[in-house]
Amino acid sequence: MWRAYLILLILSNLPAGKVFSQASAYSGTVSNRLPILNKTGVGVLELGMKIEDVYKFINKEQIYKVYTFDANGRKTSYQIYTPDKKTQIFAADVTCEKKDCTVTRITVWHTAYPTVKNVRVGQTYKQISENYRINDILWIDGNLRVETMEGISFYIDSNSLPDAYAKSKRFLSLPPGAVISAMMVQM
């Protein structure tokens, strides 16, 4: 119980009393309020949330604004790191209308954030197939992605695939030992 409370306190960077009261308000217990990835977000970070609201819940020193460029122009994302700034926890991609930016995609990179069915980064395709209904397996922008009917997508580490799979671009299934490298939800 105290470990769960401490993790919630560290990740939120709010005063201890405020964390406990917020956690209780959402779920009735702190242990049920740990950051869980579902089809609408992870923990307090939700799809559709205004980016300025993200700063209310996450310490600004843990957030890095990143710009990438492609054929469609500049894209903005926010990368959130652990308090020691050594490990990326997740990324929030945004869509902006002038200066009003909204979170449209959340990608989880850290093992501390399981899905509602307790699947997490570092586990394997076997856990995905046992807990989710697979909708599609496809290559997108050089990444192998498993899309589920439940609205959560899992990225697979292509280095964990046998050579025969790495050469193919069409999949009906994957080896049970293929490793999850990230998880994502989007609007």
Whether residue 57 lies inside any domain: the answer is: no
Kindly report the number of other CB atoms within 10 A of residue 73's CB atom: 6
- Asked whether residue 112 is assigned to any structural domain, the reply reads no
pTM: 0.78
Query: Is 103 among the domain residues?
Result: no
Give the pLDDT confidence of 69-126 residue by residue, as tens digits: 888 888 889 999 988 888 999 999 999 888 899 999 999 999 989 999 999 999 999 9
Residue 137: inside a domain: yes
- What pLDDT score does 14 carry? 44
pLDDT in tens, 13-72: 444 443 333 333 333 333 444 579 999 999 889 999 999 999 998 899 999 999 988 888
Is the Cα torsion angle 156, 143, 40, 75 positive or negative in sign?
A: positive
Structural domains of the chain, count: 2
With residue 130 as reference, give the H or E element that holds it: helix 125-131
Interval 125-183: pLDDT, tens = 999 999 999 999 998 877 899 999 999 999 999 888 888 776 676 788 899 999 999 99
Domain range for 166: 125-186
CB 69: neighbour CB atoms within 10 A?
Answer: 8
144 within domain boundaries: yes
Torsions phi, psi for 60 (to 5 deg) = -60, -25
41 Cβ neighbours under 8 A, 6+ residues apart: 47, 49, 103, 106, 185
User: Is residue 158, in this structure, part of any structural domain at all?
Assistant: yes
